[in-house]
Structure formats: structure tokens, C-alpha cells
Amino acid sequence: MSQGTAPGRATLQSVARAARVSRQTVSNALNAPHVVSPETLQRVLAAVDELGYRPSRAARQLRTRRSHTLAMRLDPFRDGVNGSVLDRFLHALVEGAQGAGYRVLLFTAEDDAGELERYAELLEASDVDGFVLTGTHAGDPRSGWLAERGVPHSAFGRPWDDPAAPLPDAERGAGCWVDVDGAVGTRAAVGHLVASGHRRIAFVGWPAGSGSGDLRRSGWREACAERGLELPDHYDVAVPDGVDAGRASASALLTSALPPTAIVCASDSLALGVLAVAAEAEGAGGLGEGTPATAVVGFDDTPAAAAVGLTSVAQPLAEAARTCLDQLLAQLDEGASPCPPRLLPPELVVRRSTRGARP
């Protein structure tokens, strides 16, 4: 995780290292000294002196004047089918925040750098108590920037820099986060399809490199491998997201020498395209009672999936929002212990697109 600071400048991290304590303990020593043991306090303050560390004015203000406001970036409306996931998260977050006496402030930013500028502005004005991050990605500087300044925050989305260590020690300063385990979702999809008699199950996902997409693919692959299912190369399709890409992928799969009887997708957009082709192939109404013989599973349980009867993996968005909020409130409560990151399991919502398909 990038710290975004010039070498040599004292940071919360360097103080923590020098005093051989966690960042949280340094933060506690500076902001709530009564919760720190006298020995530790002395060691931290000595390191602060030695290194010349000066916590930012903004972070200090944050501790003394509560605005009862959490801030979150909201991007322009882009992806019709999948964008609704973050909208549903936002609704749950605002509702949960209200219950805890907090409001949610929205802003926009072009990119990470723009978002950090907004953070700085909002902290300068001292009108937020903490931040909710979404859209985490490899090389993401945001959590580090906030941790550096002792600013409470929680991310919906894990830090992707080290996906091999999905549940790091909170003390490492990665900040708090909650994420949904996509691999559990595609595993559940394979389990459901196998239980319905399917043995030839393909996957239509995104090109390697997107953390969440890779996890969704790995869940499908591992679940198939464990059951000894055949996995010819052409069953692993990597395309950009979208209904059209789903159509094209399904056409190729269903006209191949060994067509699958079921297709698991990394998104509902892809699945809607796959479902349309499957329905045409059968001459059955994709929207109607007739079930296409090729079973199709989407991901994210969007309103479009519900409307057309598409089986899909549902993220527990309300629980994710509540967990982010709990993590933030724990940080705002000076004496609270560091909050562990959490991975939530998604749930398969079974609908017409996989019900009664005969492989």
C-alpha cells in the first residue's frame, strides 16, 4: 500500500515503527492517551519528538469536533445493469448511518488523485468524521493516505495489492474493509447446477486482472475441478463486460463441438446476453414460462435479473453497508479495539433461467 509521502517525512507509520507499536496505538496515544499504558505512551511520545512527527490539523480537528457526517465518492451514472450494486449499497449505508445519527455526504472525483484532493478539502473544512471507500483496486492510495492521517475510514472492497492475503491483520494499517467473497458465489452456482444434473459448465467472465473478476472465475474453476468436471479451454471465456459480449460468447459456446449445458457469468450484463442467445437457440421465450435448455447464472442479482427470471449471485449489500458503518463507528470510538476486515458470503438466488433445464 502506497503511503503517498516523501521519504524522510515523519508519518504515523514511522512513529509506530520507531515506538514498536501499531498505528492505532500511536493514534490512541495522541488522541486518547488514557487508553494507552503509561509505558507505551512514553515510548510513543518519545518517538513523536525524535522524529518530529506532527499530526495534521485536519486530523486533530476531526477528533475534537464531530460533524456526524460520513463522506463517500459517487461516480456519474455509467453502467446500466451493474451500477445498481453501489446504488443499493448507498441506500443501505444512508439508512444505517441515519440510525446511528450520521448523514452521508456525496462528492465526485475524476480519479484517485482527485478523490484525495476532496478528502483534504473536506478534512480542512472539518465537516466529516470519516470516509467510506468503494471501488478499491491494486495500487489504491486512498486507504494509506487516510490511515497516514489517522482519519477513520472503511472500504467496501478489499485492498487488491495482496490478494493472496485476503484477511490481513488490521494492525498492519491497511484500514478497515468489508468485501463479498465472489468465489463463494460462483462455487454455489456450480453446486446448484451440478445438483440439477449439469456436467458441462462454462464460465463467461472478464479478462484476468480485475480482482473481483478473477475471484469469480476461480470459484467456478475450483468447484468444477473438485467435482472432476471436464474443463476444455473454450469453457473459460474472457471478454469485456456487457450484454453484447455475453451474446457473442454464448453464440460461440453453443455452436462449439462440445457445447456446455450451463453457463456461469461474472455479471448480470453478460448473463443477459447469454440468456438471450440460449432462449433463441431453443426457440423458447426467454422472458416467458418456457425455460431455455441451457442454464444461465448471472452475478449481482440486479433488478434486470429479477425482471427476466435470471438466476444470479446476490451480494449481501445491506450487511456490507452495516459492517462498513460499524467499522467506522468503532474507529470514531477512541477506546475501541481495531476492527478486523470482513469477507461476507454472497447467496445464490435461483430463478427460471436454471430451473428445470434438462442437460
Summarize as ranges the residues that interact with a copy of itself (CB under 8 A).
67, 69, 71, 74-77, 80-81, 83-84, 87-88, 90-92, 94-95, 98, 103-108, 122, 127, 243, 269, 272, 275-277, 279-280, 283-290, 302-304, 306-308
Specify the residue, 237 or 275, whose C-beta has the smaller distance to a copy of itself.
Answer: 275
As measured in angstroms, the least distance from the Cβ of 315 to a copy of itself is 13
Q: CB nearer to a copy of itself: give 261 or 269.
A: 269
Residue with cell string 502506497? 2
Rounded distance, CA 265 to CA 250, Å? Answer: 10
Closest to a copy of itself by CB, 29 vs 324, is: 324
The strand pairing partners of 187, in sequence order, are none
- Give whichever of 222 and 282 is closer to a copy of itself, judged by the CB atom: 282
How is residue 225 written as a grid cell?
475441478
Least Å distance between CB 242 and a copy of itself? 10
List of long-range contacts for 1-6, beta carbons under 8 Å, 24+ apart: 1/140, 1/141, 1/143, 1/144, 1/159, 1/161, 1/173, 1/174, 2/139, 2/141, 2/144, 3/144, 3/145, 3/148, 4/116, 4/141, 4/144, 4/145, 4/148, 5/148
In whole angstroms, how close is the CB of 11 to a copy of itself at the nearest point?
28
What is the closest distance, in whole angstroms, from the C-beta atom of residue 33 to a copy of itself in the complex? Answer: 29
- For residue 307, give every residue at least 6 positions away whose Cβ sits within 8 Å of its Cβ, in sequence order, or none: none
> How far is 277 from 82, CA to CA, in rounded Å?
20
- Shortest Å distance, C-beta 217 to a copy of itself: 23
Task: For the CB of residue 332, give the shortest distance to a copy of itself in the complex, in Å.
Answer: 17
Beta bridge partners of 342: 178
Distance, CA of 219 to CA of 348 (rounded, Å): 13
Q: How far is the CB of 316 from a copy of itself (least distance, A)?
A: 13
Name the E strands within the chain: 69-73, 103-107, 130-134, 153-156, 176-180, 201-205, 236-238, 262-265, 295-299, 311-314, 342-344, 347-349
Minimum CB distance to a copy of itself smaller for 125 or for 167: 125
Kindly list the distances between the CA atom of residue 309 and the CA atoms of 190, 198, 208, in Å, as whole numbers in the listed order: 18, 19, 29
Given the complex with a copy of itself, which of 30 and 314 has the nearer CB atom? 314
Give the whole-angstrom CA distance, residue 130 versus residue 123: 9
- Give the nearer residue to a copy of itself in terms of CB position, either 173 or 286: 286
Helix (H, G, I), strand (E, B) or coil at 19: helix
Q: CB of residue 287 vs a copy of itself: minimum separation in angstroms?
A: 3
CB of 22 or CB of 61, closer to a copy of itself: 61
